[in-house]
Amino acid sequence: MMKMNRREFLKLATATTAGAAMICTADGSYIFPDAVAKADPAAPEVVYYNHCQGCNSGPKCGMKLIVKDGQLIRIERRSEGGHNNPNICAKGAAQVQDIHNPNRLLHPMKRTNPKGEPAQWEQISWEEAIETIAAKFTEIKEKYGADKVMFTTGDPKEPRPVLQRLCFLFGSPNYGTESSTCSTGTRVASYLNYGKNSFATGAGPTPGKTKLFINWGTNPAWSSSYYFETIQKAKASGCKVIVVDPRVTPTVSCVADLHLQIRPATDAALALCFGNALIQADKYDHDFVENYSHGFEEYKARCAEYTVEKTAEICQISVETLQKAIDMILGVEGPMTIQFRAAYPHHVNGVGMARAIQTLIPLSGNLDVDGGQRVSNAKSISLENTKYTGNKLATKGQYDDPTFALRADREYFPVWAECIDEIQLNMLPEYVRDGKIRAAFMLGQNAMMWPDTAAFQKAFDEMDFAVACDYYINPWTHDHCDIILPSAMSPERNYPITTNGMKIYGRQAIPAQGEAHSDCRIVADLACALGFSEEFCGGGEGVEDKIIENILFAGNKDIVAAGVKLADVYAAAPNPVVVPTEQPAENPEKKYRTQDNFFPTPTGKFEFASEVLKKFGFDPVVDHIEPAYSPVSTPDVAKDFPLILNTGSRVPMYVHSRHRQQPWLRALMPDPIVRLYPTDAAERGIVEGDDVILATPFGEIKVKAEVTNIVKPGVIDIFHGWQQANVNGIMNRVIGETLDPLSGFPAFKEGLCQVRKA
Amino acid sequence: MAKYGMVLDLTRCLGCYACVVACKMCYGTRPGVDYNGVKRVEWGEYPDAHQRYQLTMCMHCDNAPCVEVCPVKATTKTEEGPVVMDYEKCIGCGLCVQACPYDARTLVTEDETAFDGQVMVYEEESSKRLNLVEKCTMCYARAQNGQKPMCVDHCPGRARIHGDVSDPESEISKYIAEHGAVQVEGTSIWIVAPADMPKEYLPLSLADAIAAKAAK
Ligand code: SF4
Ligand code: SF4
Ligand code: SF4
């Protein structure tokens, strides 16, 4: 292959015709000339209406795409008809540089050298790619069984339903997502407490109603700025706010009336202490406890162990500050609610911590009340989350299904497998070693997301066949894959449609760059090649619309009754189509009193003591468990590694490993940084901007130091997802030590480390 | 005649950089040429540590030192308040950069674009600007078009409020009254500061800023 530097290449590229193949540069990176096409300056500006998916929680903030000659030139606030916050964050605005990015993967590729070596890629046609993959998967299915092929998504949430549909149709129970490392551990907690997943992360405040809001271990200022205004409004309407966080985040600065700067991994103790306060002061919901719960006495006894003094010591919060928080909770006149998110599964006692926090909502009488965690019975259309037919495994009672028995994760994480309809991927290297998984089809999956990353890369090398779909060539993962396919980015795809309540918004897609296809179409085309043409509407161009209309719309009674067609939705842009329906009358509060089987747990009640955990041999009642490695439990390890390693939280400019390729964002945080408290830095002779080594007992990475008082003394903070400094790569993976035995989640927020000058 | 001003409510700023990226996206500015900025400031010690953000941009001074020194009248004060640039006239002498007490101007000396050697569609205009001075215009052209400045439109914290300060009924006038925003004397910018934020982190009045610059 011809090699040249980028400047030489680009001179050449502008001289040659568009649609040229990718070029390999001297440094081994690839450039795709079709990503840098020119727009005719005389062409008119055309407006497309879409929703942003930048932070990837499904279509969120409304956006207006200004397009000239097929090129996205600007993104504007969408005041017209959009849902959610129209104020687009940095990641949303910078999508302009994502769509038109010379390094973007724009053509299907197959490797020409063995896996495990830095990949050499050769461009192939879509036909060849799909046929090759289908032939390989069919061969593996025939030889070893369909369950040996796993289908997973990393970052993208939008194509999950179609991928799951393909996986189950193909006959494999081994469907997985990055959520088995992200926040789904909170759903395990909800399942154990409530018998269903829907109470996983608590609830945010309702402006005008909520009187006390505990924002527990999340920083929505950076992770979900579209939602931050709700907290600001609640506060303006008289709601008090407690923030529990080891860091002084902008959420603390902007909305906290009280900040509990807790030691990481001690939140279960804090929650039990709050529980104890509510019980001792007789401020708990007697009706709930006596009539709708199970195991209260055991819980009460556990809570009693967590006195204010003891808890203050465990959590490293002063007795006075902790007492202030208790006084606020006991003194609140009106509803209280709590929200927490992905931070909690990231502990060895992660499910326990999430359960302990969740429990405070019903205990304090705030389950299903206005301003608390309300259970709405309003009808809404949830298309993006619709799970398709053919998915009998995704319902309860799956445990005895013979196909389910082939789930690769079952023997390692029985509790997770009982609760969650996707496999836990954190033991993938073992599944491959044991011959349970031989091939993978992955959408936007990055090996860097797992602890002990090298074991995952090796697992991909050892697989018979691995395929990845992505926006960019990502060596951490793709050096270990056989075929890579170019995915269309969010503004380039109209699947799934955006919904809010009974409103449906058409997503108008701008033309995809190069040969990129939407994930939905890639999955559909592969499905068709595997023989599921009928179930995937024949695949091909425009299949997204067919799937929306023929599967999603056709499966919704209200849409069918109203005769709403997709064409109506597109014609209504920028406004949504409101599907007429008869909304049921608002529930009375505390619906669990009147609804049968509101808590579908083994006892039919909210379980302070979990029967599921008892069945699998775990302590049924939550407790504070000191991390396997901590200054308290392993003082000897802490001699060499005295700092607590906190990673995995969000920053405003990146989402996990995404967005490093966009120069506007990259300029805001060019290098991986570790945040150190000033005295911790001074003790080590480190000043702001120094090159430093971050070391754990399992490895080292080189990063830059940021000296800041936003972190707690003795605790460092580092953002993940850096190709050149993968913090997850220096963690190990032992169940019960660094993986939560209940959920399988990695303990990203409680390891030990040391920082020294490089 | 409208008189434009902007409130920067530092009690609402999330440090999210949406304003910085929105501005770069709107004007396709070159690497390192930023019309506005977000800077973390900290004070206090654990367990009473504080952290907030300073917001920097052109202050659109009333008697703008930059306008006074420009030999070719490339930078002018509009009647509505914004200080704007005429890139056709700018000779890149950089006198205004020296004169500006708020470091709000950039002399573009490097022919750089976001992707080495490549002019992307959004850079068609900005890539023509070399050896001249760029700055925030308070999105004057957008305002004339009835649009808010890009950084205001995009701010998720709703920390930036723009509008006609001469109209007591405007959103910005009401905001100033309700939130006790303080005008940075001699400029078009109002600040709402967190109660405990040390004064040294707040923008100086124009006269003090000029004196501070001279003392350097
Ligand atoms: S966009 Fe708004 S909240 Fe975000 S950094 Fe700028 S001023 Fe602050
Ligand atoms: S801040 Fe600087 S550039 Fe802006 S008007 Fe004042 S002197 Fe001119
Ligand atoms: S007012 Fe306009 S030019 Fe000035 S910083 Fe904001 S977006 Fe940029």
Is A449 within 8 Å of A154 (Cβ atoms)? yes
Collapsed DSSP state (helix, strand, coil) of residue A266: coil
CA distance B58 to chain A (A): 20
Q: Does B32 touch chain A (CB under 8 A)?
A: yes
pLDDT in tens, A300-328: 999 999 999 999 999 999 999 999 999 99
Q: How many CB pairs under 8 A join A and B?
A: 143
- The CATH topology of domain A109-182+381-578 is Rossmann fold (3.40.50)
Cβ distance of B154 and A88 shorter than 8 Å: yes
Q: How far apart are CA A756 and CA A695, in angstroms?
A: 8
Checking if the pLDDT of A10 tops 80, the result is no
Cβ distance of B115 and A39 shorter than 8 Å: no
Is the peptide bond preceding residue A496 cis, with omega within 30 degrees of 0?
yes
- Rounded to a whole number of angstroms, the distance between the first and last alpha carbons of chain A is 38
Q: Does B37 touch chain A (CB under 8 A)?
A: no
Q: Does B17 touch chain A (CB under 8 A)?
A: yes
Using a CB-CB distance cutoff of 8 angstroms, which residues of chain B are in contact with residue A256?
none
- The CATH topology of domain A635-757 is Barwin-like endoglucanases (2.40.40)
* Residue in chain A nearest B148 by alpha carbon: A77
Which among A7, A226, A710 has CB closest to B116?
A7
Q: Which secondary-structure segment (H or E) carries A271? A: helix A267-280
Checking if the pLDDT of A159 tops 90, the result is no
Is A680 within 8 Å of A712 (Cβ atoms)? no
Domain boundary assignment for chain A: 6-99, 109-182+381-578, 201-374+603-615, 635-757
CATH class of segment(s) B4-205:
alpha beta
What pLDDT does A387 receive? 55
What pLDDT does B60 receive? 98
pLDDT in tens, A533-570: 998 999 999 999 999 988 888 888 899 999 999 999 99
Q: How far apart are CA A498 and CA A552, in angstroms?
A: 12
pLDDT in tens, A454-479: 999 999 999 999 999 999 999 999 99
For residue B152, give the ligand 3 atom closest to its CA: 6
Q: Does B35 touch chain A (CB under 8 A)?
A: no
pLDDT in tens, A409-423: 999 999 999 888 899
Torsion, Cα A396 A402 A407 A412, to 10 degrees, reads: 90
Checking if the pLDDT of A3 tops 50, the result is no
Q: Is the four-CA dihedral A679, A680, A682, A686 of positive or negative sign?
A: negative
Is B193 within 8 Å of B8 (Cβ atoms)? no
Is A338 within 8 Å of A367 (Cβ atoms)? no
What pLDDT does A40 receive? 86
Q: How far apart are CA B98 and CA B66, in angstroms?
A: 8
Checking if the pLDDT of A256 tops 90, the result is yes
Span A201-374+603-615 CATH architecture: 3-Layer(aba) Sandwich (3.40)
Given pLDDT bands bounded at 50, 70 and 90, which one contains residue A394?
A: very low
Ligand 2 center to A607 CA (angstroms): 64
pLDDT in tens, B164-199: 999 999 999 999 999 999 999 999 999 999 999 999
Q: Does A39 touch chain B (CB under 8 A)?
A: yes
A673-676/A258-260 β-pairing: unpaired
pLDDT in tens, A86-136: 789 999 999 999 999 999 999 999 999 999 889 999 999 999 999 999 999
Q: How far apart are CA B203 and CA B8, in angstroms?
A: 11
Checking if the pLDDT of A742 tops 50, the result is yes
- Phi, psi for B68 (deg, rounded to 5): -60, -35
Using a CB-CB distance cutoff of 8 angstroms, which residues of chain A are in contact with residue B153?
76-77, 87
What integer is the mean pLDDT of A167-171?
Answer: 89
Residue A609 falls in which region: left (phi positive, over 0), alpha (psi -120 to 50) or beta? beta
Cβ distance of A221 and B40 shorter than 8 Å: no
What pLDDT does A386 receive? 53
What integer is the mean pLDDT of A572-591?
Answer: 92
Given pLDDT bands bounded at 50, 70 and 90, which one contains residue A383?
A: low
Please give the model's pTM, rounded to 2 decimal places. Answer: 0.95
Q: Tokens 């990481």 label which residue?
A: A264
Using a CB-CB distance cutoff of 8 angstroms, which residues of chain B are in contact with residue A254?
11-14, 157
Is the peptide bond preceding residue A574 cis, with omega within 30 degrees of 0?
yes
146-175 in chain B: CB under 8 A from chain A = 153-158
Residue nearest to atom 8 of ligand 3 (CA): B23
Q: Does B109 touch chain A (CB under 8 A)?
A: no
Vertex A411, ends A407 and A414: CA angle to 5°?
A: 90
Checking if the pLDDT of A5 tops 70, the result is no
Checking if the pLDDT of A747 tops 90, the result is yes
Q: Does B121 touch chain A (CB under 8 A)?
A: yes
* Residue in chain A nearest B34 by alpha carbon: A664
Q: How far apart are CA A425 and CA A445, in angstroms?
A: 11
Q: Tokens 């091909």 label which residue?
A: A540
Does residue B139 line the site of ligand 3, with CB under 6 A? yes
Given pLDDT bands bounded at 50, 70 and 90, which one contains residue A405?
A: confident
For residue B103, give the ligand 2 atom closest to its CA: 2
Cβ distance of A74 and B26 shorter than 8 Å: yes
